[in-house]
Structure 1
Amino acid sequence: MATIALSVGLKGMEGYLVQVEVQLLPGMESVSVIDLPNAAVKESKDRVMAALYANDCQIPDKKIIVHLSPAGQKKNSPIFDLAMAIGIMKEAGDIKYPLPKDAAYLGVLSLDGCIKSVDGMLPAILAAKKEKIKILYLPKMTDFPLTEVEGMELRFVETLQEVVESFSGQLSLTSAFTLPNSPETPDEIHYDKDLKDILGHTHAKRALEIATAGGHNVLMIGPSGCGKSLLAETFPSILPPLKQESQYDVMSIYQLAGISYSNYKIPPFRNPHHSASAVSLVGGGTNPKPGEVTLAHRGVLFLDEMAEFPKRTLDMLRQPMESRKVTISRAASTVTYPADFLLIAAMNPCPCGYFRSRHYYCTCSPKQVTAYTNRVSGPVEDRMDIILKLGNVSLDRESREANEHSAEIRERVYQAREIQYKRYEREVHNAVVANEQLLRCSVLSDTQQHMLRQWAIEVQGCR
């Protein structure tokens, strides 16, 4: 009868339970891993056997079959190493004690039997909780964001021998590691820039505050040097800190992408160059990886010089902006990543950048201006909720003392978002809530409805 050890596989950010079935058969000494393993999983047999040899395990001279179930699901991570080693040792009789019930094993083995982490540990752990795993063995990690998971015991181990000793009760394992910037750590968040230091642009700051509170996309149009990029780069300073669930989402994404992140309490801010490819922006590759729209999940995606991006690349943003997720289909697999981001874009009004400027002469012809603005298609522009027309600021008329600190604006934004969360009974903003729910939870008066109809007619007339 085969020995079964549980592990967790990942398909994008979605996890699923994997049964690692091990059986010894008569025949020539060999190890076979079956049921759609990729190259990294196929190499596991050599790592596992080397680790077992280093731990003086008595493996009989038989054929070892390792079956990774469910059938038909591609396995693309070495995270199954530990489960494979436990299954082989139990089947060979090296483990005398019964394996814990409802236990799963995550981690890659080094040749000496040490257990290491791999990309995507956090989403795998959250998936294990969803699958009602009671005990989870995983490697010790200094940057691990969780100290405990409700309903699941975390057992941190460094070596294969520690796992075996825990089965007999000889070793007590505790979850003693925590991330310095974990949700439980009440550290203060510091921002490099503050809106108080930006002179003028009072209406733009107010518009950005409204956009932040309601999750609205913003397009800033103005001549070169008027402060579009500075406003966008200071924009994160008025974003409230992420709630715990959102922090876990961001941690999972960055772990999958193999990118470090300094403080998970701060919403991500991504600023890709206009030469970025469509794949880097939306995601993809042979083994689909998250793109900028996913790395900006729960945060901000800033497109500076928006009109300089290829039109095809910009049009690929239409679906993620609408559905708040991106589905990448490849021959190897199809994965879905979250993409709930707030888009801030900036562009010049013309190729030279000085159309309708009060201080510089524009050298562009009307045809050039039209062709430049048409680089942003109508469907993309329709998804920009707020369009800001900016101009140059006269420094002799503005004072820094009259400006508000970002912290004051951030507090108002936090209060506005809390009202929305209570209104809709979930973490959602006005910009993305379904129209039916918006009208049901926030009834508009006849005067407000008439005003909205008038604005809609005016906008259609301008187009």
Structure 2
Amino acid sequence: MSSKILSAAVVGLDAELVQVEADISNNPLGTFIIVGLPDAAVSESRERVRSAVKNSGLYFPKRKVTVNLAPADLRKQGPSYDLPIAISILAATKKINCDNFSNFLFVGELALNGELRPVNGILPIAIKAKNKGLTAMFVPAANATEAKLVKDLEIIPVNNLIELVAHLEGCKLIPQAPYTEFNFDNVKIEFDMAYIKGQEHVKRAMEISAAGAHNVLMSGPPGSGKTLIARTMPSILPNLSLKEALEITKIYSVAGELPAETALMTSRPFRSPHHTASGVALVGGGTWPRPGEISLAHRGILFLDEFAEFTRQVLENLRQPLEDGVIHVSRAASNLSFPAKFILVAASNPCACGYLGDREKNCVCSSAQIINYKKKISGPILDRIDLHIEVPRIKFDKLSSDINSEGSAEIKKRVENARILQSQRFADTNFITNSEMTPEAIKRFCQVDNTSTNLLHQAVDQMHLSARGYFRILKLARTIADLAGEANILTPHIAEALQYRPRIE
């Protein structure tokens, strides 16, 4: 006696259908074998499934049970195969009729008492099920809202094995999960730009960064407000679109980072890994590759505080994703890609003691120490950062001033207006922001007049700009022009963009 049930395996950020085959032989030994390249969690499902079936008052065969997870060359990981394995065994023993199961997909972890527990990666599995023309997907009740983000696919929320068997036998049907509407407008603001006293030039730079998704490096002494400024950035970013929210949710679902009771990420990510984080933690990878911090910051902000304290090797891993917006993870068994279109906001002290150039406290570092400290961040990494800003210490009179600073709401309106111009500009492309433009797109969208061309020519010679630096200045100037509501890039826009560019020897 045998049966076939459909499930799915998460591969990177996508899913592949897996056929769960169960065979009940006449061998009286009562062994239970799972084949098809399972990992430890899948192999351990033998005991979970056996106990769940028995404790649900259902029959578990005392003969040899062989379960095959096909295709056999695709690695299977995690406990999500518990439910399809249990259903395939019940179908093989004729306890339930599986004649109409060809368009159904089952996924979920079983507790020993037969209850279903939530699993990771439900959203990409649901997307795959819909794309393959399946009509229904049976998921743990806790995963139902996430799965229902995929429209035109019947999602059946299951609480326990007994409930599911009754549904499949037609005794007591489970109502399908309803689609939930989500609101992207009521995003909670924890840190407002109004909290920042003074630092108007820094706030201007952060506004430009938010408008065009440009990378930022802040340098200043301890206590100058770099961390607070970084944490206010989410408050001026545009609200997520549904497409962006689904992209982010997919990443968080696969990584197991989706917050409890959250089906859809409705606010932009803000990730702040510690400076001791490893390269794998930052960019992703591992034996079973999973998204790293740069992918978890997709369409949001990656804040690297104490930038120079990260090991050079870890920072060098950022080169390719900063340029391409994607990270490729190569392993012996697989080659996977994870999206990584984030805004890098980095903060660093100017030297080891932190007080180089400070107006109130003298630096105690030697020239050699200062040089060695600056060498911690390589030229290629600095070249990929569009806005370099000095954040000086704030004087007491500004800190104690009663004058209200401009709040996030006003700045956000200007950022949103600039983003609208960009969406109109890139309507026939795959770009969303100015920072994503390729050299070909820059030639098309960043035309400058003769005066601006002469200014750029002088800057390239005097500041020793690389080709990448030249193109990044044009993209930055395009964003500054958008904030000003200008259709063309003017000389003042180029001049302001050049102010944020350091001279790299």
Is the shorter-chain TM-score for this pair beyond 0.5, marking a shared fold? yes
CA spacing shift, 1:127–1:427, aligned 2, 3 Å = farther
Q: Which residue of 2 aligns with 1:412?
A: 414
Q: CA RMSD in A?
A: 2.6
Are 1:302 and 2:306 matched, yes or no?
Answer: no
Q: Which residue of 1 aligns with 2:236?
A: 238
Q: Distance in 1 between matches of 2:451 and 2:172?
A: 71
Are 1:47 and 2:48 matched, yes or no?
Answer: yes
Q: Distance in 1 between matches of 2:408 and 2:186?
A: 15
Q: Which residue of 2 aligns with 1:9?
A: 9
Q: Distance in 2 between matches of 1:366 and 1:158?
A: 66
Q: Distance in 2 between matches of 1:70 and 1:438?
A: 45
Q: Distance in 1 between matches of 2:284 and 2:387?
A: 26
Q: How does 1:172-187 map to 2 (within 5 A)?
A: 172-176=173-177, 184-185=182-183
1:168-220 Cα deviation digits (max 9, x unpaired):
44333334467xxx762467222122111211111111111111111110011
Q: How does 1:259-408 map to 2 (within 5 A)?
A: 259=257, 261=259, 264-331=265-332, 333-396=334-397, 399=401, 401=403, 403-408=405-410
Contact 1:166–1:172 (Cα < 8 Å) also in 2: yes
Displacement, 1:106? 0.9
Q: How does 1:55-94 map to 2 (within 5 A)?
A: 55-94=56-95
Q: Distance in 1 between matches of 2:463 and 2:62?
A: 78
Contact 2:49–2:110 (Cα < 8 Å) also in 1: yes
Q: Which residue of 2 aligns with 1:211?
A: 209
Other structure's SS at 2:190 match:
coil
Displacement, 1:329? 3.4
Contact 1:148–1:175 (Cα < 8 Å) also in 2: no
Other structure's SS at 2:409 match:
helix
Q: Which residue of 2 aligns with 1:221?
A: 219
Contact 2:192–2:235 (Cα < 8 Å) also in 1: yes
1:25-57 Cα deviation digits (max 9, x unpaired):
332432221110111111122222222223443
Q: Which residue of 1 aligns with 2:249?
A: 251
Q: Which residue of 2 aligns with 1:440?
A: 444
Equivalent in 430, 452, 459 of residue 463 of structure 2: 459
1:71-110 Cα deviation digits (max 9, x unpaired):
2111012211211222222221111362344210111122
CA spacing shift, 1:454–1:6, aligned 2, 3 Å = farther
Q: Structure 1: where are the runs of 5+ without partners?
A: none
Q: Identity across aligned pairs (percent)?
A: 38
Q: Distance in 2 between matches of 1:400 and 1:416?
A: 31
Counterpart AA for 2:403: E
- How many residues end up aligned between the 2 structures? 460
Contact 2:10–2:125 (Cα < 8 Å) also in 1: yes
Counterpart AA for 2:131: K
Higher mean alpha-carbon deviation, 442-451 vs 340-349, is at 442-451
Q: Distance in 1 between matches of 2:59 and 2:259?
A: 43
CA spacing shift, 1:439–1:402, aligned 2, 3 Å = farther
CA spacing shift, 1:148–1:391, aligned 2, 3 Å = closer
Q: Structure 2: where are the runs of 5+ without partners?
A: 466-502
Q: How does 1:144-183 map to 2 (within 5 A)?
A: 144-145=145-146, 147=148, 149-176=150-177
Contact 1:286–1:332 (Cα < 8 Å) also in 2: no
Other structure's SS at 2:16 match:
strand
Counterpart AA for 2:228: L
Other structure's SS at 1:154 match:
strand
Q: Distance in 2 between matches of 1:459 and 1:186?
A: 43
Other structure's SS at 1:393 match:
coil
Q: Distance in 1 between matches of 2:26 and 2:424?
A: 64
1:137-184 Cα deviation digits (max 9, x unpaired):
111017834545222111111122332333344333334467xxx762
CA spacing shift, 1:280–1:183, aligned 2, 3 Å = farther
Q: How does 1:17-36 map to 2 (within 5 A)?
A: 17-28=17-28, 29-36=30-37
Contact 2:278–2:314 (Cα < 8 Å) also in 1: yes
TM-score with structure 2 setting the length: 0.84
Are 1:122 and 2:123 matched, yes or no?
Answer: yes
Displacement, 1:405? 0.9
Q: Distance in 1 between matches of 2:285 and 2:334?
A: 11
Displacement, 1:442? 5.2
Counterpart AA for 1:244: L
Q: Distance in 1 between matches of 2:339 and 2:410?
A: 30
Q: Distance in 1 between matches of 2:323 and 2:55?
A: 53
Q: Distance in 2 between matches of 1:146 and 1:411?
A: 33
1:244-288 Cα deviation digits (max 9, x unpaired):
222223233333333354872221111222222223222333333
Q: Which residue of 1 aligns with 2:189?
A: 191
Contact 1:38–1:75 (Cα < 8 Å) also in 2: yes
Displacement, 1:429? 1.3
CA spacing shift, 1:383–1:26, aligned 2, 3 Å = same
Counterpart AA for 2:346: A
Displacement, 1:379? 0.8
Displacement, 1:364? 2.0
